[in-house]
Amino acid sequence: MLNKRFFPIYWALFTWAIWGTYMAYADTWYLFQENWFMSMTMALGSFIAGATSEGGGAVAFPVMVLVFDISPSIARDFSLMIQSVGMVAASMTIVMLRIPIVWRAVVLPSLGGVCGVIFGIEVMQPMMLPQLVKLFFTSLWLSFGCVLFWTNRHAERRVVRDIGPATNSDIIRLLAVGFIGGTVSGITGSGLDLITFSLLVLFYRTCESVATPTSVVLMAINSVCAFLWMEGFGSGVAEAAWDYWLVCIPIVVVGAPIGAWFIRNKSRKFIVRILYASIVFQYIGALIILPMDMRLALFSGLVIIAGLLCFWMAIHFGNRRLKRVRVGKPDPQGNQGTDRNRSAG
């Protein structure tokens, strides 16, 4: 009988076999010579996808549009496509290693996220100018990073390992956040994971070491649904995105599980430091590469201010909720403790 702990390895070998067979049959090995930069990008991006609340698209999208001047629509398509491979592999690792997950925060936001990502793909993304899409992505995450940094300034901040029984308000809230996050994913290729992560951490006070794998599984589901929608019901993904996808599949099917494995026993402080670094790097990169003018600067400022207000509201109402109800088991250090092998929620 196969050992479940080695399932990610079996899955990687299975994926490589199918991918290698196709590459040999179609004789498309030359794609590596033309698109090697994407393989290098996703070597880091897949690790970040498995280890943090940011999907691989959070690295791929800004690098593609800011560094290599690739169309945001192509970058969005590729991000959703590659996450349907890498983050699915990471999710399998999370489940097989029995890393704690808040399953309520997977199921309900997934339902809202499917509707949201379709809305983002078909309605919102075509309406936005490429420069605005680029800045929207990095500015929104910067506002979240600022609020998360402020909330973690006190070492004694109380966190829990689950969100408790879901009330009617919780159901509506999780569905709504799923729709909003899915819409962002439909625009930039990633977003449902970080938006839901922000709700869990800021409103529900969930430990980052539990909220992170929860967001990974959630984004994996959303990416697969988006990929299927674009190919089955939408206008199809961009042709260039297929080429990028093929040269990254063998990378992400290993990198994302390694990220999930690496982070499994790390403290929440360690996890958020990685997140801070990623967010700041992306925003500074956008400021350096984009030709900023008054319009773009104003747009970025408005997105940051709106993001700060939304995330602050999550903290405010989260504080009121803590006064009304008793939620979860306190986990002030964010360690796995005795619950290491038990899923939360």
> How does residue 64 score in pLDDT terms, banded at 50, 70 and 90?
confident
Give the rounded distance of the alpha carbon of 268 from its chain centre. 17
> How does residue 155 score in pLDDT terms, banded at 50, 70 and 90?
low
Residues 16-27: what's their mean pLDDT? 95
Please report, for residues 43, 87, 124, 338, the alpha-carbon distance to residue 224 in angstroms, rounded to integers and kept in the order given. Answer: 20, 10, 20, 33
DSSP 251-278: HHHHHHHHHHHHHTT--HHHHHHHHHHH
Ranges of H-type helices in the chain: 7-26, 31-51, 56-62, 72-96, 104-119, 125-127, 130-151, 168-188, 192-198, 208-232, 239-263, 268-289, 294-324
Residues 96-102: what's their mean pLDDT? 87
> How does residue 336 score in pLDDT terms, banded at 50, 70 and 90?
very low
> How does residue 2 score in pLDDT terms, banded at 50, 70 and 90?
low
- pLDDT, tens only, 262-303: 877 777 778 778 888 888 887 887 787 777 788 888 999 999
Contact present, 222 and 110 (Cβ < 8 Å): yes
- pLDDT, tens only, 233-257: 877 888 899 999 999 999 999 998 8
pLDDT at 327 > cutoff 60: no
> How does residue 325 score in pLDDT terms, banded at 50, 70 and 90?
low
Query: Tell me, what's the pLDDT at 316?
Result: 85
Question: Between residues 146 and 345, which one has the greater pLDDT?
Answer: 146
Residues 92-118: what's their mean pLDDT? 91
pLDDT at 330 > cutoff 90: no
